[in-house]
């Protein structure tokens, strides 16, 4: 009873702070999009438009009105889901983004799985062997992943694994001649192709996915490894670990049956945050691998200066970030008996 009330109170407080943060996000994207030197009108009408057309568009965009009024309109638009039209595709921006999002989510989800499968055991391994050579080796390996410019690693990997060794697929989500073979139902190619029973497409997609996902995963594993190690070290210093050993559990059993349970909650938080940071790497890696996802959409609009589309992308990333934070908070409450 007190349990549900507590959780409700926490949730209301959290909701308030989320609303404030979301509002701040809007202010920020509005400010960057409208107040900066880049001219939104030029981007639409082009360089050689007449003064008249320019004025017309200027007025249509509401740029002749006071700033606060513009902001109110902007907020109203955002709240009603009207994010404007993309200059490049002529489609509503939000529709474009929904269309490209699954490709990125597929990539990022695969990547985070790889990152977690790599980072968590490495972190535990490093903690258990603190200050001995395995610890140093793990540290250098994970810092390496953290230090590499991912767009460059992507290219090198393409040269080696695709051009020379021909082990994996190259750019894009699948081989050229499979494109259009499978109906886009969910947008997740692996799922769509399985549902359609097109195993060739499935393998091709997997083959194309594995390289960028591994690179992204590796780069995010640095953070996961470091945090796992430090959480684990905290736990290994705790008395209950000694208790478990006194009872006759082996080192391995103590680590996985007792200590690991205590860092699980923290790990979930870390992985949610790492997932958000993946989106950053995804922007770069999508450019390198010509991955038709969110990152490619963002950068291609950057280049043509469609600030409306760019800011919508930025806003959405911000919202995803906040959502992930919230999610990790909720998971924390569910998993940890002490918060009940």
Partner 1 sequence: MEKTILDVRNLRIRYGGASTDAVRGVSFTLGRERLGIVGESGSGKSTIGRALLRLLPGATITADSLRFEDVDLLALSEKEMLKVRGRRMSMILQDPKFSLNPIRRVGDQVAETYLRHFKCSRGEAREKAIAMLEAVKIRDAERVYAQYPHEISGGMGQRVMIAMMLLADPDLVIADEPTSALDVTVRLQVLNILDGLVRDRGIGLIMISHDLNLVRNFCDRVLIMYAGRVVETLQASELDSAQHPYTQGLLAAQPRIGGSRAPLAVLDRKPEWLEEKA
Partner 2 sequence: MSAAVETHTLPGWLNALKNILLFLLRSPTSAFGLAVLAVLILCALFAPLIATHDPYVQALGNTLKPPGNGHLFGTDELGRDIFSRLVYGARITLTIIFLVSIIVGPVGLLIGASAGYLGGKFDTVLMRITDIFLSFPSLILSLAFVAALGPSLNNAIIAIALTSWPPIARLARAEAMTFRKADYIAAARLQGASPLRIIVKSIMPMCLPSVLIRLTLNMATVILTAAGLGFLGLGAQPPLPEWGAMIATGRRYMLDNWWLVTFPGLAILTVSLSFNLLGDGLRDALDPKQMNKR
Cα 290–chain centre separation: 17
The span from the CA of 228 to the CA of 116, in Å, is: 10
Torsion of Cα atoms, 127 then 131 then 133 then 137, to 10°: 60
| Binding-site partner at residue 42 among partner 2, partner 1, none, CB < 5 to 8 Å by type | none
- The answer to whether residue 242 forms part of the interface with partner 1 (CB under 8 A) is yes
Residue 66 makes contact with partner 1 by CB under 8 A: no
Q: Which position among 86, 157, 258, 274 is part of the footprint of partner 1 (CB under 8 A)?
A: 258
Q: How far is the CB of 307 from partner 1 (least distance, A)?
A: 49
Contact 229, 136 (CB under 8 A): no
Q: Residue numbers of the site for partner 2 (CB under 8 A)?
A: 17, 20-21, 24-25, 27-29, 32-33, 36-38, 136, 139-140, 143-144, 146-149, 151-153, 155-156, 158-159, 163, 230, 276-277, 279-280, 283-284, 287-288, 298-299, 302-303, 305, 307, 310-311, 314, 317-318, 321-322, 325
Q: Determine if 7 is a binding residue for partner 1 (CB under 8 A).
A: no
- Candidate list 47, 48, 52, 239; residue touching partner 1; CB under 8 A: 239
Task: With beta carbons less than 8 A apart as the criterion, state whether 297 and 97 touch.
Answer: yes
Determine the longest span between alpha carbons in the chain, in angstroms: 85
Asked whether the beta carbons of 121 and 130 are under 8 A apart, the reply is: no
Cβ nearer to partner 1, comparing 17 with 242: 242
Element (H, E) at 207: helix 199-236
Residue 92's DSSP bridge partners are 85
Which residues in the 261-320 window bind partner 1 by CB under 8 A? 261-262
According to DSSP, the residues that pair with 85 across neighbouring strands are: 92
How far from 279 is each of 161, 209, 223, 243, 284, CA to CA, in Å? Answer: 24, 15, 14, 42, 9
Of 9-17, 48-56, 69-77, 248-256, which part binds partner 1 (CB under 8 A)?
248-256
Nearer to partner 2 among residue 150 and residue 189 (C-beta):
150
Count Cβ atoms below 10 Å from residue 315 Cβ, excluding itself: 19
Which residues bind to partner 1, rule: CB under 8 A?
238-240, 242-250, 258, 261-262, 336-338
């Amino acid at each position: 009873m007190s349990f549900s009330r507590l959780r409700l109170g926490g949730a209301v407080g959290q909701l308030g702070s989320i609303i404030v943060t979301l509002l701040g996000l809007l202010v920020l994207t509005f400010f960057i999009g409208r107040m900066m030197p880049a001219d939104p009108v030029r981007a639409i009408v082009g360089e050689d438009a007449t003064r008249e057309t320019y004025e017309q568009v200027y007025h249509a965009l509401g740029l002749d009105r006071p700033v606060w009024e513009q902001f109110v309109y902007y907020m109203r638009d955002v709240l009603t889901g009207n994010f404007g039209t993309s200059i490049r595709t002529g489609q509503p921006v939000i529709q474009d983004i929904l269309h490209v999002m699954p490709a990125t989510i597929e990539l990022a989800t695969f990547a985070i799985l790889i990152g977690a499968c790599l980072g968590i055991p490495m972190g535990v391994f490093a903690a258990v062997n603190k200050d001995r050579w395995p610890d140093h080796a793990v540290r250098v390996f994970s810092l390496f992943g953290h230090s590499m410019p991912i767009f460059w690693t992507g290219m090198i990997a393409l040269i080696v694994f695709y051009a020379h060794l021909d082990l994996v697929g190259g750019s894009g989500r699948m081989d050229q001649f499979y494109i259009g073979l499978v109906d886009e139902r969910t947008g997740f190619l692996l799922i769509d192709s399985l549902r359609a029973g097109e195993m060739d497409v499935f393998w091709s997609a997997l083959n194309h996915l594995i390289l960028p996902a591994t690179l992204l995963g590796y780069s995010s594993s640095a953070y996961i490894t470091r945090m796992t190690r430090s959480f684990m070290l905290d736990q290994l210093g705790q008395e209950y670990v000694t208790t478990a050993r006194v009872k006759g559990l082996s080192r391995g059993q103590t680590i996985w049956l007792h200590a690991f349970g205590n860092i699980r909650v923290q790990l979930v938080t870390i992985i949610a945050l790492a997932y958000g940071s993946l989106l950053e790497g995804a922007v770069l890696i999508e450019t390198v691998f010509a991955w038709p996802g969110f990152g490619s959409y963002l950068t291609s609009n950057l280049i043509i200066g469609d600030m409306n589309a760019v800011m919508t992308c930025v806003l959405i990333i911000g919202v995803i970030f906040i959502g992930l934070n919230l999610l990790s908070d909720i998971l924390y409450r569910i998993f940890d008996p002490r918060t009940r």
